[in-house]
Structure 1
């Protein structure tokens, strides 16, 4: 029987309890206060622990801009939680500002620079209500557009809020504010920043590398050293908090969990979802402290005081880091309110599976053909894999009568089964035969998509299998026919520029691999980091059409190539591809007209004849264009 603790940080409290309580404040609690940089500083003072230290990726560029004495001002932009105030505070300190002055009350801080200019720091535009923001925005305009070099304004602001405030200010001044349109183009279309305004957009800096840094900062924090002699992990006991942070750190799997978590975050980012640093901190904090029973841990986040009763109850499995990664420990409303858990839920890990994976999890311990795999992939993890609770529920499910299943035993086991599928996604060895890990997600071809990007970055050709699958998917969408061609792409219509789903008239065909300036090339868009399909119908500039290949669009093409019906997967993707087809048809018409204009044989030819190319399908699904000449009646 363990000794009860007397409060967080009180007599007999675990040595890391103050740190764990502080880390909990970063988690997805209903009243998360870490949205304010000042709150973090105050909480650190109360907890008396070392802060979570993250890099400021754009700070050096900001300092360089200052030291260059470039005229004008600085805008630190981003979305909520990107670390705008964090960067602003770091810049203040780097150029000589007093941290105590920064921590004092007030949203505007001023610092006289050695060159005589006055640096005006506006910590957070959102702290001003309505017309209160007029004065700081007027100071910014005076510096940027008015040519005033006496001040350099450093403004931290959310994209949308800044644009709204500029619009409202312009209305009050009976004009269109001259900074609003160029800033809108800068934010939304990556256009150039206004002259004399250096824009540092933090929303463009979050990546897999950011997640790795956050995970290391949370799981590898120096305060965890206090756990070394904690009684909660003595005498063979398992502390779920310590266990989770070790797994996040990668001590047992060579950081495989972190890499696969990074794959998911990267796919979400490439699908256009921005995950700010605050959300990544909430994700990692929840992975370490999450618990699937609010009765066992308040707000589903553990403190050190919760661990003894969790250990005594034998419910450590409810703290599974693999389930916590998807917010499965949280009430659905709270999880869906966080962009990061909404993004993680989009992969449907836990719901997606294969017959092989479920056969392993349900029957593996008893089926002689599966026992070796079960021991290697499931029973190897007695904490979150084949736990006593899971085995008991499994036996009840397999041996119980039908009535017992309907009374709730089945539902309990199904919930555990979902958690086991989540664990498998993270734990399966690479290239595991029979159990491909991406099959445990809704993005079954995401591994191929990431391979495309790595190949393009390394200047290697995209694999023939992946390129062929893309070509086959394009052909099936373009024609509405079950074509198997992978070496060419048919640009087909139904006789006009319609959105017809079945098109048997081939207006143009082109190789699926760029040759002599014609055909499909797969390129890397440096701005977005995504692959781009570039289909050229004729040599020379201006004869190609590009298509942004997002992960969801790639998944759509791959599923269609493997036999899925286009309308059954994503109507939005289908519409995007039909719009791409329409652009190709228009380009094909232009190329054809240019060719006719330069072909003397057409002049004086048989004007009453028309040749149509019908797409026929050979046995085996290979299509070909069959010309049919139609002549007008005399």
Structure 2
């Protein structure tokens, strides 16, 4: 016995109601629509304490309405951002009842304590065109025309309200005055028009939301009931409780949420939005996922069979976090799993990491790291199933070479790669965890962002790598320069992949108003390359550096062919190069370098600078005068 006060066999499992409620948050087709209503119903049936998250935006919304500010209020965002939740929270905070909120009426009115009448629309998409027109005209009057008879509160997706405003304007034969200002506010975070207050839930930080969701679920009070559960008796492992324990950060697992947060940050900086609903689904899936369970999510009643069949390892949260327990089509329907799939974790690896996983069990030279990094985890690491499949694969048994057996081993190998990404120590130089992803320089990107945010200098190695990659894209040559940047062309065709004519060159670090500066775009939180071709305002060209563009330049700097990583990034870089060439031409026209003209040179000549490569790979520009016959 393990000392736990366990329930008798056949007795009701103490956490079954809580786990059943947690399943309602998981990635199932049932909660794709009317999520707020679905969760409320599940909570009423389960009769457990709800999962509560802080709502700083809700507090601001309530404070705004209670301040008596005139006009209207728009709660905007994307699907899953919690618009209905915030709208319902506001309704309750200003005196509305749950019964009235649950009525079938789509447009609700509520007398506010200050005497105003508030008109609530919890979901603009539910309204017919004529209902929508009435509400939007009311919003226009209150926001732009000073009408204080009604205070309009609308919850809507970005695209929904812009489409409804466009259609209303077309029916009225005009451009609706709210549409363009709202579109600009959504895109750039600017101020909404007139007296309209805008609360855009899609702008909430993803990492902070992830950490809060993980804590709210993994630290929930209902888990205390698991201490008396028979499923943990006699040394048995309950995969639900094990996954929850690892999320809490016990036994060296503290890096899990931090590294998952890194992935979420990179996804956000690549332009992907992960709503709170998806983060809730992700966390529920990490704890409850198992490919053999109904809908891929375990219930307490499934655990005894999972233990008996020896399939606990298939419930690994290291696979569940990527939706490995779900059919691929269903997983990719959720933005969060689609975003995490872009990192290729499980498919990507290093030769050293794969060597450790495949040969470490039998190779004496790898015995120490294998014991420390793999065998130390008997639940999801060096499990009997993995070691058995590995032995069959290495011994070359006839069945092990069959396609089905090879596929099984490769699936297990992918599972171990995923686990390593989350469990490798930060300072494990031989096995860098970012090497297990498609973003091998992801850590450098996040470090650069952090340094820029704190106004600290970025790493010299990072700057040098970016400059080398930039020069190789600019010229199409394998040059090693890291101190200067060539702005090169092919003599007129700026989209050419190989350019050996140097139009100008600038320092790799801003000096006396020229050269490259790496700065932080506070609007997007991304790094940005800012290259000044001459001193003075208006002589710079900027290039937003998303994580995928950063990765592209670093890969090119390390020897990858530009088109082999991302044709899209290559096209973006060539467009940036074209802007630099146009800017260089404008500057030259404004400030002709007359002092460089040598006396005696014929008028009918062209001076060109060709980029050549020295023995050690450094490029240099060599001036050549081409005489043209009259």
Q: Fold conserved (TM > 0.5)?
A: yes
The runs of 5 or more residues in structure 1 that have no matched partner are 7-11
TM-score by length of 2: 0.96
Q: Distance in 2 between matches of 1:184 and 1:202?
A: 15
Shifted more, 121-130 versus 211-220: the winner is 121-130
Deviation (angstroms), 1:400: 3.2
Q: Distance in 2 between matches of 1:60 and 1:301?
A: 34
Deviation (angstroms), 1:612: 0.7
Deviation (angstroms), 1:599: 5.9
- SS for the counterpart of 1:420 is helix
Q: Distance in 1 between matches of 2:523 and 2:254?
A: 29
* Residue in 1 that maps onto 2:469: 473
**Residues 25 and 33, structure 1, Cα contact 8 Å, conserved in 2:** no
The runs of 5 or more residues in structure 2 that have no matched partner are none
Say whether residues 1:564 and 2:563 are aligned partners: no
**Residues 31 and 38, structure 2, Cα contact 8 Å, conserved in 1:** no
Q: Distance in 1 between matches of 2:380 and 2:386?
A: 9
**Residues 335 and 342, structure 1, Cα contact 8 Å, conserved in 2:** yes
Q: Distance in 2 between matches of 1:348 and 1:327?
A: 13
The equivalences for 1:547-562 within 5 A come to 547-562=543-558
Q: Distance in 1 between matches of 2:126 and 2:35?
A: 10
Alpha carbons of 1:281 and 1:424: their partners in 2 closer, same or farther (altered >3 Å)? same
- SS for the counterpart of 2:364 is coil
Deviation (angstroms), 1:121: 1.7
The equivalences for 1:350-499 within 5 A come to 350-406=346-402, 408-499=404-495
* Residue in 1 that maps onto 2:29: 30
Say whether residues 1:88 and 2:84 are aligned partners: no
Q: Distance in 2 between matches of 1:472 and 1:600?
A: 29
Deviations 1:278-337 (A, max 9, x none): 1111111100000022xxx11111000000000111110000000001111111111111
* Residue in 2 that maps onto 1:607: 603
Q: Distance in 2 between matches of 1:5 and 1:593?
A: 88
* Residue in 2 that maps onto 1:13: 12
* Residue in 1 that maps onto 2:328: 332
- SS for the counterpart of 2:225 is helix
Match of 2:501 among 505, 524, 527: 505
Shifted more, 399-408 versus 469-478: the winner is 399-408
Q: Distance in 1 between matches of 2:482 and 2:8?
A: 67
Deviations 1:139-160 (A, max 9, x none): 2122112321122111100111
Count of matched residue positions in the alignment of Structure 1 and Structure 2: 626
* Residue in 2 that maps onto 1:518: 514
Deviation (angstroms), 1:237: 1.1
**Residues 497 and 582, structure 1, Cα contact 8 Å, conserved in 2:** no
Q: Distance in 1 between matches of 2:571 and 2:215?
A: 41
Q: Distance in 2 between matches of 1:171 and 1:184?
A: 17
Deviation (angstroms), 1:605: 7.9
Deviation (angstroms), 1:372: 0.6
- SS for the counterpart of 1:492 is strand
* Residue in 1 that maps onto 2:128: 129
Q: Distance in 2 between matches of 1:424 and 1:629?
A: 59
Deviation (angstroms), 1:69: 2.7
The equivalences for 1:180-199 within 5 A come to 180-199=179-198
Say whether residues 1:102 and 2:101 are aligned partners: yes
**Residues 357 and 413, structure 2, Cα contact 8 Å, conserved in 1:** yes
Say whether residues 1:140 and 2:139 are aligned partners: yes
Deviation (angstroms), 1:604: 11
- SS for the counterpart of 1:133 is helix
The equivalences for 1:195-206 within 5 A come to 195-206=194-205
Deviation (angstroms), 1:603: 11
Alpha carbons of 1:14 and 1:513: their partners in 2 closer, same or farther (altered >3 Å)? same
- SS for the counterpart of 1:382 is coil
Q: Distance in 1 between matches of 2:494 and 2:148?
A: 58
**Residues 532 and 549, structure 1, Cα contact 8 Å, conserved in 2:** yes
Shifted more, 513-522 versus 607-616: the winner is 607-616
* Residue in 1 that maps onto 2:64: 65
Alpha carbons of 1:392 and 1:505: their partners in 2 closer, same or farther (altered >3 Å)? same
- SS for the counterpart of 1:369 is helix
Q: RMSD over aligned Cα, in angstroms?
A: 2.1
